[in-house]
Structure 1
């Protein structure tokens, strides 16, 4: 079970890693078998499913994202948590609101991500 403290710590560390554009720190949150689904991934990867499978592929996708969006910055608005998941609600440098649902393993690694945007 994820506690409020764990959810808030993961969220803050995740936001700080992205805002620092620190790819190694960003990747430290994810399991080897992670699966991410995102409309941005569909666009950047020219892949209709928007699905990225595995940590190596995710690293490559995130690297590309940091290059395409050099002014990328996130502001955390809220964190919601459940038994083994959390939702990060934030805005980016363009004012786009995002909700990322993340499943988290018993070791604290993110195993699944589903990103949703308001634009």
Structure 2
């Protein structure tokens, strides 16, 4: 079971990795068989399902995202935690709020992400 302290540490490290724009550091959080579903993926990948499957595909998607948004920056607003999941609630570089539900494996790697945005 995930503790509140573990969830907060995870979210803080996740935000720091994204703000560093270090793709390898970002990817340390994700499992090999990760699935990500995001409205941003619809736009960047021109894929109506907005789904990215597997870490190799995720690397390509994140690389494109960092190129499309060179000023990307996240500010952590809140962290919610469950038994095997975390919701990271943040503001992005556009001032829009986002919440990402992340299911975690027993090793603490993200296996599924469902991203939601308010704008």
TM-score range, shorter chain: over 0.9
Structure 1 residue ranges without an equivalent (≥5): none
Aligned residues: 119
User: 1:80-91 counterparts in 2 under 5 A?
Assistant: 80-91=80-91
- Aligned-residue RMSD, C-alpha: 0.4
Q: TM-score, normalised by structure 2?
A: 0.99
Structure 2 residue ranges without an equivalent (≥5): none
Secondary structure of the residue aligned to 2:88 is strand
Question: Matched residues in 1 for 2:109 and 2:93: separation?
Answer: 26
Cα distance, 1:57 vs structure 2 = 0.2
Aligned residue in 1 for 2:28: 28
Aligned residue in 2 for 1:74: 74
Secondary structure of the residue aligned to 1:112 is strand
Question: Matched residues in 1 for 2:63 and 2:8: separation?
Answer: 25
Question: Matched residues in 1 for 2:22 and 2:15: separation?
Answer: 11
Aligned residue in 2 for 1:63: 63
Secondary structure of the residue aligned to 1:111 is strand
Structure 1 stretches of at least 4 aligned residues deviating more than 2 Å after TM superposition: none
Question: Matched residues in 2 for 1:89 and 1:108: separation?
Answer: 18
Aligned residue in 2 for 1:2: 2
Aligned residue in 1 for 2:106: 106
Q: TM-score, normalised by structure 1?
A: 0.99
Cα distance, 1:34 vs structure 2 = 0.1
